[in-house]
Amino acid sequence: MKSIEDYVQLEPQYYQSVLDNYQALFVKKFANVDTEKIDNVVIYATGSSSNAAYGALPFMSKVLAMPIQIEEPSISENYLLHVNDNTLCIAISQGGHSYSVVKLIEGLQQADHTVFALTSEEDSPVAKVAKNVLDMGMPIEEMPYVSAGYSIEILDLILIALIIAKQNHKISTNEFEQYVVKIKAVIKQVPAVITGASSWVDKNLTKFNIAKRITFIGYGAAYGVSREGETKITEAVRISAWGKELEEYMHGPYLGLEKNDFIVCLEPNGKLQERADLLKQFLNKHVDNVYTIYANDSQSKKDYDLSLKVNTDELLAALFMTIPVHLLAYRLSQEKDIDLQHSAYPDFDEITASKI
């Protein structure tokens, strides 16, 4: 079975495959959809798929220029299933076995709503129940602690938004092509990002190994990265982890700060960078271990910070900023001799039926 790190190494290959095939994957799927009637988008996802959606959200909002929501499938299916006819519904389940996503799709379709299921497994329960299936464009990820699938979902959502925006004349053909060029430029740099992130993790692994709690703080597209940091550290390393949006953290959670906390600030070099710098001024007064992962080639003088050296639109930062987070989670799990190949609680799905 491949590991989290194996799949991180495969991300450039998977990204390129999606770009090479996006017309068959998505353009043809929306060719016969009256997208001009769409006036809002609801993305239904949980776990890493939800984190990925938050990573894509700012870009989607910019190009589509309409309200976009991300909702938990179970809450929506049981309490919030009030969808108007002009809503584009996208339900994400990478493996296609999520009970809550299956039930949600059934509920939406019974109410005569169109929902597109985004999954990597064409024979899964999600794919079988959905009338409209979008293939993620990558093989089934064998490792239950997904990494490449999370990243590919971000690219998929970005491309879907671009396709619809072009069909709706929100962006021109030339603008569409310019965005694709920007995305290709980012993906071309992913191998170098992996190399740099790998070295950074190796250099700081011993220190992170003593952490009792790790907090990831991000904004914009990096908010999804912070959420994924919480998810992966909790799942794989099994210590306390938080993933917070910049202002969310500053409105209360900072009061729970401990001197021995490890803080990872995720800096996409965007419009809130000055605000994030002020928070770091405070954090450095009270915490011994404050790290920053910069999207671009930062001028940081701290040798324990990481500059990924990708100068691009901050809205595309989620395509590569999670790489060091995934590598950190995986290597910490190995330092702690945690077996990620087998479930720590094999009776969980049997009792809860969370997966079909």
pLDDT in tens, 285-299: 999 999 999 999 887
Provide the token pair at 181.
């060029």
Residue 343 lies in a domain: no
Alpha carbon of residue 15 to chain centroid: 14
What are the Cα distances from residue 245, in Å, to 80, 98, 128?
A: 24, 27, 36
Residue 323 · residue 194 · CB < 8 Å = yes
User: 153 and 51: one domain?
Assistant: yes
User: 210 and 146: one domain?
Assistant: no
User: 148 and 295: one domain?
Assistant: no
pLDDT at 298 (0 to 100) = 82
User: 45 and 62: one domain?
Assistant: yes
Cα–Cα nearest to 117, from 143, 142, 91: 91
Domain C-terminal end among 188, 203, 237: 188
Domain C-terminal end among 152, 173, 188: 188
Residue 296 lies in a domain: yes
Task: Specify the number of domains making up the chain.
Answer: 2
User: 183 and 207: one domain?
Assistant: no
Residue 283 · residue 295 · CB < 8 Å = no
Cα–Cα nearest to 223, from 247, 252, 258, 191: 247
Q: Which residues, including other chains, have CB under 8 Å from residue 5's CB and lie 6 or more apart?
A: 147, 326, 327, 330, 331
Residue 129 lies in a domain: yes
Residue 295 · residue 319 · CB < 8 Å = no
Provide the token pair at 304.
């324990």
Residue 288 lies in a domain: yes
pLDDT at 32 (0 to 100) = 87
User: 164 and 232: one domain?
Assistant: no
Low-confidence stretches of the chain (pLDDT < 70) are none
Query: Each residue of 221-266: pLDDT tens digit?
Result: 999 999 999 999 999 999 999 999 999 999 999 999 999 999 999 9
User: 261 and 281: one domain?
Assistant: yes
pLDDT at 272 (0 to 100) = 98
User: 220 and 304: one domain?
Assistant: yes
Note down the domain range covering 312. 190-335
Alpha helix segments (H runs only) across 209-347: 222-232, 246-250, 273-286, 323-335
User: 183 and 209: one domain?
Assistant: no
For residue 65, the domain's CATH number is 3.40.50.10490
Residue 34 lies in a domain: yes
| Main-chain dihedrals φ then ψ at residue 69, nearest 5 degrees | -120, 150
Element at 154 (helix H, strand E): helix 148-167
Residue 100 · residue 109 · CB < 8 Å = no
User: 174 and 291: one domain?
Assistant: no
User: 132 and 278: one domain?
Assistant: no
